[in-house]
Amino acid sequence: MTCPVCKKPTDPAYRPFCSRRCADVDLGRWLTGAYSVPGDATDPAEAEDDLPSSPPRRH
Ligand SMILES: [Zn+2]
């Protein structure tokens, strides 16, 4: 088995990676992707209600 980050032989201590560094790299990629996952789009919807450029609502 090889490290998915740099393709070096895997170190059993850091499986499936070859080193702590590569494990961190992969984790960083995963977190970055997780933050951009669609579905957490509640912010734009809420912001749409508070747009300063939107006309004032008449009650
Ligand atoms: Zn590696």
3-51: pLDDT as tens digits: 999 999 999 999 999 999 999 999 998 888 876 656 655 555 555 566 6
Q: How far is the CA of 12 from the centre of ligand 1 (A)?
A: 12
Record the pTM: 0.53
- Pull the structure tokens for residue 44: 């734009």
Q: How far is the CA of 39 from the centre of ligand 1 (A)?
A: 32
> Which string of b and e fits 25-36 if b means at least 16 CB within 10 Å?
beeeeeeeeeee
Residue 3 assigned to a binding site: yes
Q: How far is the CA of 32 from the centre of ligand 1 (A)?
A: 19
Render the chain in DSSP notation, one character per residue: -B-TTT-PBPPGGGTTSSSHHHHHHHHHHHHHHHHT-TT-THHHHHHHHT-TTSPPPP-
Specify whether the CB–CB gap between 35 and 18 falls below 8 A: no
